[in-house]
Amino acid sequence: MKAEQRKELETNALADRVGRMVTKLKTGQSNKTLVLFVLGGIVLAVVFFLWMKSRSVGRTENAERWSELEDGARLYMDRLLTEHANTNQGKAANFQYAWMNLWNYGLQLLGHAPGEALKMLDLAERKYDALAKECEGDPVWEPEALYALAVIEETRTIRDRKHLALALDRYKELADKHKDSAYGKMAAKRVEDLETPQTRDAILLFYHGLQQDFGVRDEKLLPLK
């Protein structure tokens, strides 16, 4: 009878498992199995706890970095640049410094020191060129860097008319590469302005007026048509 039952169990997978469990109970292996299950459960619980804690800490640190960026204090900005350079906040701080340099030491100087301003534009261009290469392929940061480079190129129209054509090429490149981004759309609008005769003439007149205001004298500067 036992032999027939054993044969039936061997042909039934579920019954076979039950048979093994019964055997373990008889041989005392069940206690070892129970201990292993308990230990495994504890390990899983600890791993889950550490994972949840890590996520919580990560969210807190992320929020703190955004808060420091919004504050804008030099200490916070420098820390973001040095300790968190690869985070979005670190990149934002880097771009913020680049823009401050472009605006404060470049564009704002045009009103009273155009020669010095144009020199600072060269420095700003190197900075934004490095940022563009560093963020190449990034749908958020690369468009901002490319737009700044186009603006720098256009500003140089004060020195030579050819820079307006070079700026147009830069705007087109940005508009084509990142057409769905905010800076891509801004670039597309600038392309439209520069390719429309009426608005293009107005832009040329504007730069010609700046040349006269700054007292710039150079044969290479754009003539007024």
Greatest mean pLDDT among 34-38, 79-83, 103-107, 120-124: 120-124
CATH class, domain 74-214, is: mainly alpha
Cβ-proximal residues to 6 (8 Å cutoff; 6+ apart), any chain:
none
Under the banding of pLDDT at 50, 70 and 90, the label for residue 55 is low
pLDDT at residue 2, as a whole number: 47
pLDDT at residue 180, as a whole number: 94
- 158's tokens: 């004060």
d(CA 171, CA 167): 6
pLDDT in tens, 110-167: 777 777 888 888 889 999 999 999 999 999 899 999 999 999 999 888 888 889 999 9
What is the average pLDDT value for the chain, to the nearest integer? 76
Residue 179 has pLDDT above 80, yes or no: yes
Cβ burial, residue 171 (10 Å; 0-12/13-18/19+): buried
Give the Cα-Cα-Cα angle 195, 131, 113 (nearest 5 degrees). 65
Residue 156 neighbours by CB distance under 10 Å: 20
- 77's tokens: 């900005």
- Per domain, the residue ranges of the chain are 2-71, 74-214
Residue 7 has pLDDT above 60, yes or no: no
- 161's tokens: 């008319």
Q: In this structure, which long-range contacts are made by residues 10-13, counting pairs with CB atoms below 8 Å and at least 24 apart in sequence?
A: none
